């Protein structure tokens, strides 16, 4: 599909018409997404071209790629945040993990973490000791 632009130029001694055809199916650079980057960018994209996005470590990419269709980007893509749990949060809730870890734990979206109470402490029962990360949010159990 092309759009025809006509330019009419009239001077005292001449008259001419020039035509410019523009492919309206070209897409401008694809839109940015939160917490994601486009693998390769260029000034314009042809009909049917696709772009891939990349997400940082521990983020989960959902959807993609985006496709240039009739001058518009179609499709959906997003980067889903991981959950983080720090040593400070664990100490505040009297928790330890069932596995070894460092100063900060990263858990991908939909992954589970299983906690246990520090020695001599018991769960207050408000949250299960096994929790699931959901879009960057995880509930921490508390031990008293």
- Report domain extents, the chain: 25-80, 83-132
Q: What is the pLDDT of residue 124?
A: 96
Q: What is the pLDDT of residue 88?
A: 94
Residue ranges in the chain modelled with pLDDT below 70: 1-9, 15-24, 100-104
Closest alpha carbon to 73 in 32, 36, 111? 32
Q: What share of the chain is helix, strand, coil (3-state, %, to 5)?
A: 5, 45, 50
Q: What superfamily in CATH does domain 25-80 come from?
A: Complement Module, domain 1 (2.10.70.10)
Convert the pLDDT of each residue in 31-65 to its tens digit.
999 999 998 889 999 999 999 999 999 999 999 99
**Termini Cα distance of the chain:** 69
């Amino acid at each position: 599909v092309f759009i025809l632009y006509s330019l009419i130029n009239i001077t005292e001694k001449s008259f001419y018409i020039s035509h410019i055809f523009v492919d309206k199916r070209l897409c401008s650079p694809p839109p940015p997404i939160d917490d994601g980057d486009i693998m390769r960018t260029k000034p314009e994209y042809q009909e049917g071209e696709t772009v891939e996005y990349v997400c940082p470590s521990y983020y989960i990419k959902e959807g993609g790629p985006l496709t240039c269709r009739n001058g518009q980007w179609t499709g959906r893509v997003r980067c889903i945040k991981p959950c983080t749990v720090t040593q400070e949060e664990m100490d505040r809730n009297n928790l330890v993990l069932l596995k070894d870890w460092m100063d900060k734990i990263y858990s991908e979206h939909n992954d589970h973490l299983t906690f246990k109470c520090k020695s001599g402490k018991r769960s207050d029962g408000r949250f299960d000791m096994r929790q699931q990360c959901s879009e960057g949010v995880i509930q921490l159990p508390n031990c008293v």
